[in-house]
Amino acid sequence: MQNGLPKRCEALRSLHRPGDPLVVPNAWDVASARAVEAAGFPVVATTSGGVAAALGYEDHEHAPGDTMLAAAARISRGVDVPVTVDAEAGYGMDPTDLVAALQDAGAAGCNLEDTDHAAGKLRDPESHAAWLRAVREAASASGYGLVINARVDVFLTALIAGSDTPQRELVPDALHRARTYLDAGVDCVFPIALWEVDALREFVAGSPGPVNILETPRAPAIEALADLGVARVSYGSLVHRDVMDQFTRALGSIASETKGVDPR
């Protein structure tokens, strides 16, 4: 095990405090991770969308798992704070192999989602819970205190499908999944794309473990999320997209200034 990894795992787990959320802007390479650390954030989280884009791939496991985990390892080596890795749906890896790869990468934690990207649908919660339990058992067997953040994709799936179902009607399914995953030994649950206040309040109240919420323009502000009892707030690929938008605008400005000038 990498030197200091047990302490990083312990520190990451201790920062999940309902009502006093851990805020983690997501990084996509060593430079952005170092910027997160320099800004005073106690943890770096990676974004699979941003990492995949930086490597020339689409999100949702279009990039090879070993390539994504190699990028995560570079980020972990590049900072002195705990790093939690967006490991998507596990890249089809056996739990033991996935845990070994995360440990080798120096990951203090990971996100694992319940979408089956190959099938294009949500996984059965009970079978996914069994897989998560195997991940936890593999980590425990090697003395590795991996902090597992189980993503619950009920709300995201509805959003992608263009559903107009109120989010509160989706809470029972999402809570069943959250409770099942927590029973399997995960540390935190992440109902991604949940932002309606009443639904959010009901989900947090009904979850027996810490809750991570994605901060989007439609979600409540961090202070309001804290009041609701949220334990972790992340930004997914939003910061990466904003940075790339700014870069694109800067390039457009440069291009307009150099119009008619030979770039050589």
| pLDDT confidence of residue 198 | 98
Q: Which two tokens mark 193?
A: 């794309």
Contacts of 90 by beta carbon, 8 Å cutoff, 6+ apart = 65, 98, 112, 131, 135
Nearest to 81, CA basis, from 36, 123, 121? 36
Q: Where are the domains of the chain?
A: 5-252
Alpha helices in the chain (DSSP H): 5-14, 30-38, 48-55, 65-78, 95-104, 125-141, 154-160, 167-183, 197-206, 222-227, 238-257
pLDDT digit string (tens) for the chain, length 264 residues: 466 999 999 999 999 999 999 999 999 999 999 999 999 999 999 999 999 999 999 999 999 999 999 999 999 999 999 999 999 999 999 999 999 999 999 999 999 999 999 899 999 999 999 999 999 999 999 999 999 999 999 999 999 999 999 999 999 999 999 999 999 999 999 999 999 999 999 999 999 999 999 999 999 999 999 999 999 999 999 999 999 999 999 999 999 998 866 655
Name the CATH topology of 5-252. TIM Barrel (3.20.20)
Q: What is the CA radius of gyration of the chain?
A: 19
This prediction has a pTM of 0.95
Distance CA 30, CA 126 (A): 36
| pLDDT confidence of residue 121 | 94
Task: State residue 154 phi and psi, 5-degree precision.
Answer: -60, -50
| pLDDT confidence of residue 258 | 87
Q: Is the C-alpha dihedral spanning 66, 71, 74, 75 positive or negative?
A: negative
CB 177 within 8 A of CB 154: yes
Distance CA 228, CA 139 (A): 31
